[in-house]
Amino acid sequence: MFSFAKKLVDRFEGHTTEPSNDLYFKNATQINNRGHALRVLSVIPHSIAHKKGFESWFDYIIKINNHELPMLYPSLSNYSYSINEDGTINYGGSATSEQAAAINYELLAKELSTLAKNKQELILDVWSAKGGVLRQISIELEDYVPSEEEEANGYKLFENNFKQLGLTVESQHLNTSTFVWRILNTHPGSPAFRSQLVPQSDFIIGCDSAIDPNSKGLLSKGGESLLSNTVANYYNYHQNSNGDNVPITLFVYNHDYDILRPVTVNLSRNWGSGHNRGILGCDVGYGILHRIPEVIGKFEQNSIIDDVLFSQDQNHEEEIINQPPPPITTTINEPPAPPSIASVPPPPKSSVNKKKKHVASSAVDGLSDYMNEELEKSKHLDEASLPKTKSESAPPPPPPSSKTS
């Protein structure tokens, strides 16, 4: 019974000799050497890719002009593979995961150049990690027809990873989209609590590098234990120069507001008592039940999507991140009360696209107010839940009975 349940869970998670084929991936694990795609790493502001709604870190290009990507070793699509718990992929025989992910960029460049010369559209099938939504994006290539001089000098539309279109991409397996950690709750007084991480709606998808302080990026290699290992390595590496409080930048996606923001967390081992406190001080969820949900109505109107992480005012961003947290009154032994949906309603899903047309400073302000309101409301709920004294709990005496003469 238990072995059957484990196999069932492993099948959904992708830890099996056959690729995961659930509805989340839209059967994309059956193409491109069993599940590889061009992951969008960055989008240049005001470029054609930006206007078409590409999102860095969340979008994967799985098809071009209604066919699979031109893989450098297409025969590997017939190989069986298994995904380990740390996220690495084992292919049959002597094949490596790097060989399976290799794209034939030369063949791809020729195809795009031919489309541009014939003034045909480039059609991309784009899969989003936000709920596994699949959409098609068409790009007109009339403005990218190379001149005779450019063609003689080896001009390629695909040079530097779609740079002419405003995209930077990298071949990755779709399984890397599941490397996200959902904040389930934050312990009062912990680094995560003071950084105002929002339980249930915040997802950690990236962080600083432990070795290179200037390196920031995705958590895309390592599986479930990657977050804890990265944070622990970062803390141990910088502890001597920073004492017990070691600041680290986490890249956090909030589903309620559909924004990606940097959050500075001061890692510490001395923030509370107990053997389960951890240096982050929060409980996280990982796996099929904690993937990023779909944002309803997000792609219906094809509106321009602003990347909050890269396009917002940095000074305003630092002001929000470094502002002092509100006073902490909740006791450590008593977890904070869950947020009340009636008092703080989430934004309507249908209005997400309208909000994303702006540069997201208002969205960040709203998120900050939302977190402050949640903390204040938790304080009031905790005070209301305290046991009352005898005088407070005793009912008032009955009124004197009236006497008729």
Q: What residues contact residue 48 under an 8 Å CB cut-off, 6+ apart?
A: 139, 165, 166
Boundary (domain end) residue, out of 176, 194, 227: 176
Same domain? 86 vs 31: yes
Residue 50 structural domain: 14-176
> For the whole model, what pTM was predicted?
0.70
Q: Say whether pLDDT at 11 is over 50.
A: no
Q: Say whether pLDDT at 2 is over 50.
A: no
CATH number of the domain encompassing residue 75: 2.30.42.10
Give the pLDDT band (50/70/90) at residue 294: very high
Q: Say whether pLDDT at 373 is over 80.
A: no
Q: Say whether pLDDT at 347 is over 90.
A: no
In this predicted model, what pLDDT tens digit does every residue of 165-210 receive, in sequence order? 888 899 999 999 999 999 999 999 999 999 999 999 999 998 887 6
Give the pLDDT band (50/70/90) at residue 219: confident
- Token pair 């784009």: residue: 126
What average pLDDT does the segment 342-362 reach? 43
pLDDT at position 148:
63
- Let me know if residue 7 belongs to a domain: no
* Lowest-pLDDT range of 61-70, 319-328, 381-390: 319-328
pLDDT at position 8:
44
pLDDT at position 313:
42
pLDDT at position 77:
84
**Bridge-partner residues for 135, per DSSP?**
126
Question: CB neighbours (10 Å) of residue 292?
Answer: 19
* Lowest-pLDDT range of 198-202, 218-222, 234-238: 218-222
In this predicted model, what pLDDT tens digit does every residue of 139-164 receive, in sequence order? 987 666 666 665 555 555 555 557 77
Which has more confidence, 170 or 330?
170
Same domain? 67 vs 131: yes
Same domain? 222 vs 368: yes
Burial class of 67 by CB neighbour count within 10 A (0 to 12, 13 to 18, 19+) = exposed
Same domain? 234 vs 367: yes
Element (H, E) at 260: strand 259-267
Percent of the chain with pLDDT over 90: 31
Same domain? 137 vs 229: no
Q: Say whether pLDDT at 245 is over 60.
A: yes
Q: Say whether pLDDT at 308 is over 70.
A: no
In angstroms, the CA 74 to CA 229 distance is 34
pLDDT at position 363:
52
pLDDT at position 151:
58
Same domain? 170 vs 186: no
For 395, list phi and psi in degrees, rounded to 5.
Answer: -75, 155
- Token pair 């804890």: residue: 228
Which bin fits 27, alpha (ψ -120 to 50), beta or left (φ > 0)?
left
Number of Cα atoms under 13 Å in the Cβ half of residue 297? 11
pLDDT at position 187:
92
Same domain? 150 vs 205: no
Q: Say whether pLDDT at 132 is over 80.
A: yes
Same domain? 84 vs 196: no
Boundary (domain end) residue, out of 143, 158, 176: 176
Boundary (domain end) residue, out of 157, 176, 195: 176
Give the pLDDT band (50/70/90) at residue 5: very low
Average model confidence (pLDDT) across the chain: 74
CB 337 within 8 A of CB 374: no
In this predicted model, what pLDDT tens digit does every residue of 96-105 receive, in sequence order? 888 889 999 8
Q: Say whether pLDDT at 65 is over 70.
A: yes
Same domain? 100 vs 214: no
pLDDT at position 314:
40
pLDDT at position 38:
94
Same domain? 261 vs 152: no
Give the pLDDT band (50/70/90) at residue 110: confident
- How many separate domains does the chain show? 2
In angstroms, the CA 296 to CA 196 distance is 25
Q: Say whether pLDDT at 253 is over 60.
A: yes
Which has more confidence, 216 or 61?
61
